[in-house]
Structure 1
Amino acid sequence: MTPTSLKNILKIHLKTFYPIEEIENFFYILMEHRLNLKRVDIALDPHFELTTDDESFFIKVLDKLKQEIPIQYIIGSTEFYGLPFYVNENVLIPRPETEELVQWLLESVDKNSKLNILDIGTGSGCIAISLAKNLPNAKVYALDVSTKALTTAQKNADLNKVNVHFLNENILTISNLPINFDIIVSNPPYVRELEKEEMKNNVLDNEPYLALFVDDKNPLIFYNRIASIAKEYLTKKGQLFFEINQYLGKETTELLKNKDFKNIELRKDIFGNDRMIKSLK
């Protein structure tokens, strides 16, 4: 088997499951993960023979892709904001939209200032770790209810050589935080049950339900609670950042107005959806 024949095999067996462009992306992800080869390397030599061990690996991956298991879970890693992250079934796979939230936050602060930052619902730690990496003088805390998620997040902090203070707490029931914060950021669960039909099977069947979904009757439960916490624990003119449900931008804005947050700004993501919101205490 050669890289060229492998690509063709993937296309033939996966075309009923994924778009061709996504299958090609799988191919390059796998080649880099397994053989440490970039696109240019393959373009220069697309017909070398794969070893028996490599062939066996790719066939096993193909079987998992047919089961619509996300490729990030199959290889156990992904990239977020230019950094490597371990991922598994205990954490959500970081999305490009969340990178935009991190970028917005970094543009909103003095990168050399001594900031206390809290990431609520940290999951893999992608937000907290990216901030710690890019804000060398910040003290970053990250909170999650899942001990398994925090185990992964700690591995990611070690991988990226940053210090993050992890807290195993339920934000809906927590009574106090250890310190006051200049910035609180959160990408909490926000997908309503009624929106399930819009989601792909590889997400529904594999990613942690607890980190994705909220009850249709109370979809802003986490935003309401986090905003209340933020009113108490943000410093004067502290900033609150949220990733939000694209269909609930108006409702989330009203929630923040009702809690007397100022300078509320709703921003769209690269796909043109209302996706993030910033406000001041």
Structure 2
Amino acid sequence: MLLREIKNIYHSELDAIYSKEEVNSFFYLLIEHYFDLERFILAIQPELVIDKKQETVIFQALSELKLEKPIQHIIGTAYFMDLDFKVNEHVLIPRPETEELVRWILDDHKNTAKILTILDMGTGSGCIPISLDKNLTDAKVFGLDISTDALKVAEENNALLNAGVKFYEADILSLDAETSAKELDKKFDIIISNPPYVRELEKAEMQNNVIDHEPSLALFVPDEDPLKFYSAVVNFAADHLNENGCLYLEINQYLGEETKQLLEESNFKTIELRKDMFGNDRMIKGIRK
């Protein structure tokens, strides 16, 4: 079958669900991933034909896209900080906003002569600590998560990307009681967290591919207690950051001032609330006194 005909079928089947630009992006990403074909291939070989085996793969992906399965889950990887991370239904797909948070940390600390000790709380795929480990020379980087399945993905990414992060299974909400996390009872120079922060009332704003295919455990918090993870992280950081150590958080865009108040009440200084590329309050930094 002609590849350009398959592209036309993609649009006829998917344009009612996604934008035409998204459908083009899906199609080109899939032919590159499965067939090692560049996106300009149809411009130079408009009569290119793929075989039956290739057709099966590309049409299976089409079926999954019609069910609004994330393209990253279909191909099994997500691109983040110039690295390919394995992802599946047990971890959140890394977002551009999270990459902004990581780049903020790197901008602040890439020229430091000190060997930094870093903890990521709620690590998921491991994209944050692994990216920091790859970019900060000699840093000692740790990550924790409550999900055994998520930690399996993080450990695999750690090995695939030749990183040196140490991961621990622990619950952010009960860290002080976690015997399995005793090695984390130390002081850190940097603590980062992108914990669950989407209120149940905000589900209506979210796309089905997120609600149906990404882990609820990593996404949602009760409407009546939306900052419960942030309270736990801030309390832990207040006790476990070195003097002038930095806490970085990705946050709910609607709760920026409330999150800032949490840091103020725990005696953090030089608190900075930043907007993401879309103009939303998305990340905050505080320095321990």
Category of TM-score, reference length = shorter chain: over 0.9
Following TM superposition, the consecutive aligned residue runs of length 4 or more in structure 1 with deviations greater than 6 angstroms are none
Gaps in structure 1 of 5+ consecutive residues: none
* Counterpart for residue 192 of structure 2: 185
SS in 2 for 1:250: helix
* Counterpart for residue 218 of structure 1: 225
Paired residues, number: 281
Q: Is the 8 A contact 1:91 1:208 kept in 2?
A: yes
Matches within 5 A, 1:68-147: 68-111=68-111, 112-147=113-148
The sequence identity of aligned pairs, in percent, is 52
Matched, 1:261 2:268: yes
Matched, 1:236 2:237: no
Matched, 1:170 2:177: no
CA RMSD of aligned residues (A): 1.1
* Counterpart for residue 179 of structure 2: none
Larger deviation: 269-278 or 174-183? Answer: 174-183
**CA distance, structure 1, for counterparts of residue 243 and residue 44 of structure 2:** 57
Q: Is the 8 A contact 1:249 1:275 kept in 2?
A: yes
Look up the equivalent residue of 1:125 and give its one-letter code.
G
**CA distance, structure 2, for counterparts of residue 36 and residue 243 of structure 1:** 35
Look up the equivalent residue of 2:211 and give its one-letter code.
L
Question: TM-score, normalising length from structure 1?
Answer: 0.97
**CA distance, structure 2, for counterparts of residue 173 and residue 42 of structure 1:** 55
Over residues 42-85 of structure 1, what are the superposed CA-to-partner deviations in whole Å (9 max), with x where a residue is unaligned? 43224311111110001111111111111111111111011011
**CA distance, structure 1, for counterparts of residue 284 and residue 187 of structure 2:** 21
* Counterpart for residue 52 of structure 1: 52
* Counterpart for residue 247 of structure 1: 254
* Counterpart for residue 32 of structure 1: 32
Matched, 1:208 2:215: yes
Question: Closer, same or farther in 2 for the Cα pair 1:63/1:110, shift >3 Å?
Answer: closer
Question: TM-score, normalising length from structure 2?
Answer: 0.95
Over residues 162-199 of structure 1, what are the superposed CA-to-partner deviations in whole Å (9 max), with x where a residue is unaligned? 11100100010111523210000010000000000000
Over residues 114-169 of structure 1, what are the superposed CA-to-partner deviations in whole Å (9 max), with x where a residue is unaligned? 00000010000000110001012100000000010000001101111111100100
Q: Is the 8 A contact 1:157 1:163 kept in 2?
A: yes
**CA distance, structure 2, for counterparts of residue 49 and residue 140 of structure 1:** 48
> CA shift at 1:225, angstroms?
0.6
